[in-house]
Structure 1
């Protein structure tokens, strides 16, 4: 499902996807700043579910709530776990 969505985005939003690939090239070659690029599935407006799946290689689910995204971001401020990395997250 995620791969189909990604292909649709590449086709419908080709300029945006080109920019996202360039963004990745710039970040991944920069060791002078601390960065984390969070990759998301479909975002659902809703309450925090409290369970966030994380994976560095593949999207672990198809949806995530906006409140869980916020919680994940806040937790990364004090964490070194994903510095210079690009985790996928979902519920």
Structure 2
């Protein structure tokens, strides 16, 4: 894998590819992982969109007694957390460089 940073550098840095989300069928395995080298600014924007969607799905799911929407909210929130965690790690890495 190419270890050089893409250019131009985003204000916040780049994702590092360490954060994962959603448990896999095999214990200790995760289903999804953030890909390294994505702009952390963009990752944070996408996390915000995921959280807004999760909030809406949660509200509708509870109000309309739709458990599938509550589960969707759970998964969207987990994906958003992985994006934010990975972007945060990239910001710290960029600050040290």
Question: Which category describes the TM-score, using the shorter chain as reference length?
Answer: under 0.3
Give the structure-1-normalised TM-score.
Answer: 0.28
Structure with more helix by fraction: 2
Structure with more strand by fraction: 1
